[in-house]
Amino acid sequence: MILDRACIARLLDMGESIKAVERVFSLFGRGKALMPPKIYLELKKYHGDFRAMPVFVEGMGAALKWVNVHPANLRKHLPTVMATIILSDPATGAPLAILNGTQITNFRTGAAGGVAAKYLARRDSSIIALVGCGEQAKTQLLALENLFRITEVRVWGHQKALVQRFLKNIPPKTFLFVAAPSIQECVGGADIIVTTTPSRRPLVKFRWLKKDAHINAIGADAPGKQELDVAILKKAKIVVDDWRQARHSGEINVALSQKAISQGSIYAEIAEIINGKKKGRTNRDGITVFDSTGLAIQDVALAYLVYKKALKRKLGRPIDLMG
C-alpha cells in the first residue's frame, strides 16, 4: 500500500510512538536488530545531503529510509527534512508499504527525545527551553507533554518571524509560552533543554545552565555540526543513541575530533539504560545530555506501527509492485 502524508497524520500518535521507540531501543540493545551505518551522499553544490538508512528489526520487518537534509529549504517554505520509507517483508523481500516518512521522522525523533528525558531528566521538570523552532521542536515538545507537567516553554529561533510563526501554529496549551530574546534567556533556569538547529558552532554555554538540567541534543546529524559548548560535554553525563553513529555525526563528533572528550567520556547508550544495564538519572547527577543522531530502528518501529494500523482501518492505496 501507499501511505501518504494525510494517512500518516491520521495514524500517528505521540503516546504510541514513545512506547514503540522505547521498545525498539530495547530490542536493539538485546541484539534483535541489524542496522548498518547511515550512508551519506553530500551535495555541496545544493547545500544539502541525502542519507540511506537500511534496517531490520525482529517482529517489525525490514525497511529502507531515503531522507534529505537541506537547511536552505526554510527560505523556500519547504521542509528542511523530507523522507520516504519502504517497508518490506523480511521473509520474502516483498514490499509491504511505501510511506511518506517526513512526519514519521519528526515523530520518531520527538519520541526518542521523550524516552531519553523519561530516564535522564528530573521527574519534576516543568520548564522547557526550545533552541530552534522548526518541525523537530514541535514533536519534541509534544513528546515532553506526554511525560511531564509543563508550566513554561521558552522558544528561541534565529529569526523572530520564525518564532512567532511557531507560537502561532501551536494549539492552545495550559502552560505559558515565552519568545526568548536570546539563547541565554531561553536556557537559563530551564529543566529540559532541546536543541534542534543545524548549527556548526556552539550555541548553548555551560555557564548558562541549571546545575541539574537535561539536554536533548537533536540538531547535530553530520560531521562538523555542534550546538553545545564543549565544556558541557566535559562535565555532563552523556548518553548516546548509538556510539558508532554518534561519534561520526552526533553532538559529540566535534569534541571527539578535538580530543576534548573520548569514548570513555560516554556514560551509556540509551538501550543500556532502558534494559537496566546502567542507571538513568540519580540524585548525584548534574547535567545530563542525550545525543540523538536518529536511528533507522526508530523509523521501522513507527513505519510498522502505522502500517498495522492502516491495515486494520483499511487505509492507504493498494498497489502491486510484484506484477
Q: How far apart are CA 25 and CA 277, in angstroms?
A: 13
Confidence of residue 75 (pLDDT cuts 50, 70, 90): confident
Confidence of residue 171 (pLDDT cuts 50, 70, 90): confident
CATH 3.30.1780.10 occupies which residues in the chain?
Answer: 2-105+297-313
How does pLDDT run across 246-272, given as a tens digit for each residue? Answer: 999 999 999 999 999 999 999 999 999
How does pLDDT run across 96-136, given as a tens digit for each residue? Answer: 999 999 999 999 999 999 999 999 999 999 999 999 999 99
Residues 252, 19, 310, 90: is their CA dihedral positive or negative?
A: positive
The predicted model gives 180-199 an average pLDDT of 97
Topology, domain 2-105+297-313: ornithine cyclodeaminase, domain 1 (3.30.1780)
CATH 3.40.50.720 occupies which residues in the chain?
Answer: 110-294
Q: Is 65 a catalytic residue?
A: yes
Query: What pLDDT is recorded for position 323?
Result: 61
Query: What pLDDT is recorded for position 260?
Result: 97
Confidence of residue 321 (pLDDT cuts 50, 70, 90): low
How does pLDDT run across 230-243, given as a tens digit for each residue? Answer: 999 999 999 999 99
The predicted model gives 177-181 an average pLDDT of 96
Grid cell locating 258 = 578535538
Please determine, looking at this structure, whether the domain spanning 110-294 carries the CATH number 3.40.50.720: yes
Percent of the chain with pLDDT over 70: 99
- φ and ψ at 225, to 5 degrees? -85, 145
pLDDT at 322 over 70: no
Determine which of 136-150, 163-177, 248-262 has the lowest per-residue pLDDT on average: 163-177
Residues 310, 311, 316, 320: is their CA dihedral positive or negative?
A: positive
Checking DSSP bridges between strand 200-204 and strand 226-228, what pairing results, if any? Answer: parallel
Angular region, 77: left φ>0, alpha ψ -120 to 50, beta rest: left
pLDDT at 81 over 90: no
**In the predicted model, what is the mean pLDDT of the chain?**
95
The predicted model gives 220-236 an average pLDDT of 95
Query: What pLDDT is recorded for position 310?
Result: 95
- φ and ψ at 126, to 5 degrees? -140, -20
What string of H, E and C letters represents the secondary structure of the chain? CEECHHHHHHHCCHHHHHHHHHHHHHHHHCCCEECCCCEEEEEHHHCEEEEEEEEEECCCEEEEEEEEECHHHHHHCCCCEEEEEEEECCCCCCEEEEEECHHHHHHHHHHHHHHHHHHHCCCCCCEEEEECCCHHHHHHHHHHHCCCCCCEEEEECCCHHHHHHHHHHCCCCCCEEEECCCHHHHHCCCCEEEECCCCEEEEECHHHCCCCCEEEECCCCCCCCEEECHHHHHHCEEEECCHHHHHHHCCHHHHHHCCCCCHHHEEEEHHHHHCCCCCCCCCCCCCEEEECCCCHHHHHHHHHHHHHHHHHHCCCECCCCCC
The predicted model gives 172-198 an average pLDDT of 95
Query: What pLDDT is recorded for position 317?
Result: 78
Catalytic residue among 65, 138, 225, 237: 65
Q: Are 238 and 272 in contact (CB under 8 A)?
A: no
